[in-house]
Structure 1
Amino acid sequence: MAEASYPPAKHGGGNGAAAAFPARKPPPGYGSARPTYRAPPRKRRRRCGLGRCCCWLTLFLLALILLAAIAGGAFYLIFRPRQPAFSVSSLSFANLNSSLSLAMAAKNTNKKLAFDFDSISVSAFDREEKIGDGEFPPFFQQSGNTTVLKTTVASLRSDLRKKSGVEVEIRLETKAGIAIGGAKTKRVRIRVNCPAVAVAKSRQSSPPHSSCKVELRIKIWKWYF
């Protein structure tokens, strides 16, 4: 019986698979050079930096205010500062030229603080009309002391010679600092207003220590308070 002959089998499963499943075509542009990626430029944070500076500056100022308040409170509790007191001791016409002889008392009621006064300018008024000017010399006043100040107010008005008497109001302007041991504070402005006193030419007028109103004028930047 004759054997049947078959053609030789072709090897290469890859070709067979390629014949069964044809290869896909690559998409257009495949294998070409891709464009280089560049990150977008970062924006400078100017506003953020400015805001931080303002924030730190605000915190610094608040800290200074807090420290000043603490120091001021401690100073007040320890020393109990009181402003100086002024009073008119005597006031009279010095001569026929209508000059006024003025004596005042300055009292320091503090127990631990001394005052260092500049020269004190004196102005006398008769119902808001100025009579004349005078001056007290500068002086240093220890705690608990009373200093007597004397001056002559030269009259600038000739019509006072015809009057038998006037109502004189005394106003003072000066600067004073506080002395603690060997340390001294910055001087502040002081304004003193004394109530009107009736002064007659025929006799001396000595009011019983007429008390005056004292105002401290503290300067902040360009303004006084």
Structure 2
Amino acid sequence: MAETPLKPVLQKPPGFRDPNFPAAQSGFRLPPRRPLLPPSFHQREGSRFSRACCCSLCIFLSVLILLVVAGCMVFYILFDPKFPVFHVQSIRLSQFNVTKKPDGTYLDAVTKTRLEVKNPILKMTYYYGDTEFDVSFGEGGDETAAGTTAVTGFTMVKQSTTCLKVETKASNMLVADDVGNRLQTGHRIKMLPVNVEARTKIGLGVAGLKIGKMAVAVKCDGITVKHLDGGDMPRCVINMLKW
């Protein structure tokens, strides 16, 4: 009886694993997979971080504002700061001529003004920069320029008074005929409104320290020679941070 021919043995491909062979007995294990997080989870983490940053910033700003307010209160209690006080002592028109010529009406005027400046603070010093003065005649938005001049900077110690002399000049200035008539009439009856405006910078000295200068505008409007002759000393208006 002839022998049955043997079947050829099949070669197992590389990496072949017998499904009947227990995986626990194999020396090779697949690495564990990292769980995939849904996109909403990452968004929640980012929103939490943003909220934490906003809360920290709000707390910091609140503390900073409280410190600034407390510092201002302490400063006010200790030094009792006040604005300087400006009064007009006198105004003299040493020259005032309105001349009518064939080609128009002309104004020549020399104005001498004395201003009294007071520092009412007991514990602070004022430092003034160079001050520019403008003088004009008239009121109600219909003013006529009467010259500009400048005064060099000065210092006012605690509770002191300073007198400033301001002289301006208008020479051969062309004005409208009706304006010339109004100016001449006002000057004759001593009711010509005179306006003085000063622009300067003021700094403070506290306990030996100088605080930076601040822009200041001082306005003395509608002053007449007749009122000054009656003994009045009109008080000027101070506008801080406004030119």
Partner residue in 2 for 1:43: 42
1:193 to 201, 204, 219: 219
Tell me by how many angstroms 1:43 deviates.
2.3
Does the Cα contact within 8 Å between 1:92 and 1:205 map onto a contact in 2?
no
**Quick one: distance in 2 between partners of 1:124 and 1:77?**
38
- Of the three residues 181, 184, 193, the one matched with 2:210 is 184
Count residues in correspondence. Answer: 189
**For the residues of structure 2 that align with 1:206 and 1:99, how far apart are their CA atoms?**
22
Closer, same or farther in 2 for the Cα pair 1:130/1:187, shift >3 Å? farther
- Residue of 154, 160, 164 corresponding to 1:139: 154
Gaps spanning 5+ residues in structure 2: where?
A: 1-19, 97-107
Query: What CA deviation, in whole Å up to 9, does each residue of 1:182-219 have, x standing for no partner?
Result: 2011212222221312248xxx96853211122222xx
Give the letter aligned to residue 217 of structure 2: R
Report the RMSD for the aligned CA atoms in angstroms: 3.1
**Residue 109 of structure 1: which of 120, 138, 162 is its match?**
120
Distance 1:194 1:207 in 2: 16
Q: 1:58 to 1:30 in 2, by over 3 A?
A: farther
Matching residue of 1:154: 169
> What 5-or-longer segments of structure 1 have no aligned partner?
1-28, 218-223
One of 191, 195, 215 as aligned partner of 2:239: 215
1:118 to 119, 129, 144: 129
Q: Does the CA contact (< 8 Å) of 1:173 and 1:192 recur in 2?
A: yes
Higher helix share: 2
Cα pair 1:89 1:206 within 8 Å, conserved: no
Specify whether residues 206 and 183 from structure 1 end up closer, same or farther in structure 2 by C-alpha distance, changes over 3 A only. Answer: farther
CA distance in structure 1 between the aligned counterparts of 2:202 and 2:67, rounded to whole angstroms: 25
Alpha-carbon distance in 1 for matches of 2:128, 2:89: 19
How does the TM-score come out when normalised to structure 2?
0.67
Q: Which has the greater radius of gyration?
A: 1
Q: Judge which range, 80-89 or 166-175, deviates more.
A: 166-175
Q: Secondary structure at the match of 2:205?
A: strand
- Give the alignment's TM-score, normalised by structure 1: 0.71
Q: Which amino acid aligns with 2:236?
A: C
Change (3 A) 1:120 1:151: same
Q: Which runs of structure 2 are paired with 1:49-88 in the superposition (5 Å)?
A: 49-88=49-88
Q: Percent sequence identity over matched residues?
A: 22
Alignment of 1:172 with 2:198, yes or no, is: yes
